[in-house]
Amino acid sequence: MDPFQEDRLDRPREACGVFGIYAPGIDVARTTFFALYALQHRGQESAGIATSDGVSAAVHKDMGLVAQVFTEDDLARLEGHLAVGQTRYSTTGSSHLRNAQPYLIETMHGPLGVGHNGNLTNAPQLRQRLLERGVGLTSSSDSEVITQMLAAPAPGADNGAPDWEARIGAFMAAAEGAYSLVVLTRDAIFGARDPHGFRPLCIGRLEEGGMVLASESCALGTIGATYVREVEPGEIIRLDHNGLHSVTGPVPPSPSLCVFEYVYFARPDSVLEGQTIHRVRQRLGEVLAG
């Protein structure tokens, strides 16, 4: 076997982990760091955190494990009360720094940061549409495609109003495939889950105030958050100074959570669909043994 191919087969191959937090008065960068550390099993190729104070934004990301990517100085520079983070296993887009997340760009409505778990099956077509509109792309990742789609106003919308729910909804109507998103804007953190519910995303509440979104509930205990519920398939969540707000996105078909979350991806102490992963795996073993 070719040595490069053998190396690729030996490397961890799992889903990405994403996290978002809105929490004034809390060190959101450090909280995101610990949440990503708890989600490390979902991706070991790169890690990143983007933060905002409502005016300016900053990002730090690099190749490697969470504990290798961030130093105390790195975290100190990530100021604000909003943050999104991601730990990555590459699906669409090779394993290079240019594909590391979150993506952070400046729009006419302030910063836009995006962390993505999943894979868009129609990414080439969406990418081509952006290029035809004159949008320049710097990476091969479908996550950059998502970021640029969200930066544009929804069809028929007033470009002077930052209607992020409408933009996310327009993206969801055009996108095909599996995804969960965390999105940072000037005033809020958004979360969204594909209409099939292929990829997981849950909501948590911090004791000190503020709310979070995470790929798995195992990240909540690490940061002292209480599990609230899962984001429903096709649902768009907004976390801001008013708390939690939900918007129904595309009408979901039958829920289709990826079975490999139970078999392989998720941590045993995480809860999905009201069941701990460990208990489901026990039951699978019992059924197989029978």
Where in the sequence numbering do the catalytic residues fall?
Answer: 16
CA 213 from centre of chain: 9
Contacts within 8 Å (CB) and 24+ apart, 197-201? 197/232, 197/233, 197/234, 197/252, 197/255, 197/256, 197/257, 198/118, 198/256, 198/257, 198/258, 199/15, 199/117, 199/118, 199/258, 200/230, 200/257, 200/261, 200/266, 200/272, 201/18, 201/117, 201/230, 201/231
Alpha carbons 55 and 154: distance in angstroms, whole number: 23
Q: Which residue has the tokens 């005033």?
A: 187
* Residue 152 Rama label (left phi>0; alpha psi -120 to 50; beta): beta
> For residue 244, which of 212, 270, 221 has the smallest C-alpha distance?
212
State how beta strands 189-193 and 235-240 pair: antiparallel
